[in-house]
């Protein structure tokens, strides 16, 4: 039997009179790479934030990696890229990652340096995050998402501001994480080609739910 990494039942979410989701169900199994597409404002980012426990649904249950999320819960063993990365602008990329690493102590200094090099950043650089280019900021976001060996990656537009060559490298990196390390991935992206290359299933946000796109 397939092991479920995400199971959503009867989920509804609205803001004022705008109903984004209504009585929605969704299941994702271990090892899958799932893409979520849709128009701007359709609710893709809200959906991912509910999976992360950052936004509570009005109704329904969200179960991630075998645990039902209560209000304010953040699931264990996940890596996340969202539009609200809280890096400190006055610190280097390495220092920012070490601050995060010291919370759960699942990765040491050398491990952080290795991950930074993997995404194309120099851990010895003295450049502060506030001076990073958009591409460098996205690389650091990817580094923090993967550095603690998560079982599930939740990625909202992970390829933003990434050049074409780097885009291909990161696509292969995510494929390796999935195929060699059994990391499940759910992601949104405006890059249709990368969705096609990476995702085993693609859903579209419409009719106040998710419908199978391919």
Domain stop point among 115, 132, 149 = 149
Shared domain check, 156 and 57: yes
Assign 2 a pLDDT band (cuts: 50, 70, 90).
confident
Question: Residue 155 pLDDT > 80, yes or no?
Answer: yes
Mean pLDDT to the nearest integer, 121-129: 98
Q: Is residue 83 part of a domain?
A: no
Shared domain check, 68 and 12: yes
Shared domain check, 164 and 212: yes
Shared domain check, 14 and 61: yes
Containing structural domain, residue 49:
1-77+150-214
* Tokens 């909202």 belong to residue: 156
Contact predicate 97/140, CB 8 Å: yes
Domain stop point among 149, 183, 199 = 149
Shared domain check, 71 and 18: yes
Provide the pLDDT for residue 85: 66
Shared domain check, 137 and 33: no
Residue 46 buriedness (CB in 10 A; 0-12 / 13-18 / 19+): middle
Provide the pLDDT for residue 141: 94
Shared domain check, 140 and 188: no
Q: Is residue 82 part of a domain?
A: no
pLDDT in tens, 181-203: 999 999 998 777 788 889 999 99
Assign 39 a pLDDT band (cuts: 50, 70, 90).
confident
Q: Which residues pair with 21 in a beta bridge?
A: 13
Shared domain check, 188 and 119: no
Shared domain check, 155 and 144: no
Count structural domains, the chain.
2
Supply the DSSP string of the chain, one letter for each residue: -PPEEEEEEEEEEEETTEEEEEEEEEEEETT-EEEEE--TTSSHHHHHHHHTTSS--SEEEEEETTEEPPTT---SSEEEE-TT----TTSBHHHHHHHHHHHH--S-HHHHHHHHHHTT--TT---BGGG--HHHHHHHHHHHHHTT--SEEEEESTTTT--HHHHHHHHHHHHHHHHHH--EEEEE-S-HHHHHHH-SEEEEEETTEEEE--
Q: Is residue 59 part of a domain?
A: yes
pTM over 0.85: yes
Provide the pLDDT for residue 51: 95
């Amino acid at each position: 039997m397939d092991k479920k990494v995400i199971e959503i039942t009867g989920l509804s979410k609205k803001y004022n009179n705008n109903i984004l989701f209504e009585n929605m169900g969704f299941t994702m199994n271990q090892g899958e790479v799932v893409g979520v597409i849709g128009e701007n404002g359709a609710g893709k980012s809200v959906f991912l934030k509910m999976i992360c426990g950052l936004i509570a649904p009005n109704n329904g249950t969200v179960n991630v990696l075998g645990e039902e999320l209560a209000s304010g819960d953040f699931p264990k063993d996940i890596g996340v890229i969202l539009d609200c990365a809280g890096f400190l602008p006055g610190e280097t990329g390495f220092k920012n990652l070490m601050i995060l690493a010291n919370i759960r102590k699942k990765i040491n200094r050398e491990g952080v340096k290795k991950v930074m090099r993997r995404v194309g950043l120099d851990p010895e650089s003295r450049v502060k995050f506030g001076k990073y280019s958009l591409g460098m900021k996205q690389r650091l976001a990817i580094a923090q998402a993967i550095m603690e060996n998560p079982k599930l990656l939740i990625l909202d537009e992970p390829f933003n501001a990434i050049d074409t060559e780097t885009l291909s490298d990161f696509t292969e990196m995510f494929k390796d994480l999935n195929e060699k390390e059994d990391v499940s991935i759910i992601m949104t992206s405006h890059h249709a080609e990368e969705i096609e290359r990476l995702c085993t299933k693609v859903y579209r946000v419409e009719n106040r739910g998710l419908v199978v796109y391919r």
